[in-house]
Structure 1
Amino acid sequence: MELAALMEAGREKIRGGQGVLDLAGLAPRAARQAAPAVVDSKRSALLWDVLCGAYEALGLGEATGGDEAFRQMVLARLVEPTSKEQVPA
């Protein structure tokens, strides 16, 4: 009985006061008749355009003399922070 109480206290702590999402009315994924997802491209043009716009709005393009390699490195680090390990110091 003590273990069950500890387990329930642990579950409540992990949930952090969140309720349980009731999925009882949803059909299993295999039963749905949706079309399969198709990846058209791995490039996110919208994300890149927004980042480039912010870079220019902050004046970083002008401050670096339009250094394209630097711009791409800075924006790549925003998208994938571990990319800094791939760039020589």
Structure 2
Amino acid sequence: MGLMQSGDPQNQEEGFANLLSLAGENIAALVEEFGAEDRDLGLRRWLLELIASAKTAGAIPILKEQLASSDEMLRYWARHGLEILDTKQSRTIL
């Protein structure tokens, strides 16, 4: 997370890439970070992308919540995450 929060775009990209493969096993921490981030919309978008990529049922509540976001990209990642999860619950939400 530290790299993603740095001011250096290269570090941010590296941090995102590092977390992408670990998203599923760190879903609780990612959801917590998403909830705590209220200043940087770009970081919130990246966090939701990571959450969506986790492909875990633990992501469903935050993805469902973000379907109603005023931000188009957050809605996109929420929908995408529910689609790739492809469970009965995620399909019902969609």
TM-score (norm. length: structure 2): 0.22
Higher Cα Rg, which structure:
1
Structure of higher RCO (CA pairs closer than 8 Å, 6+ residues apart): 2
Give the structure with the higher percent helix. 2
TM-score (norm. length: structure 1): 0.23
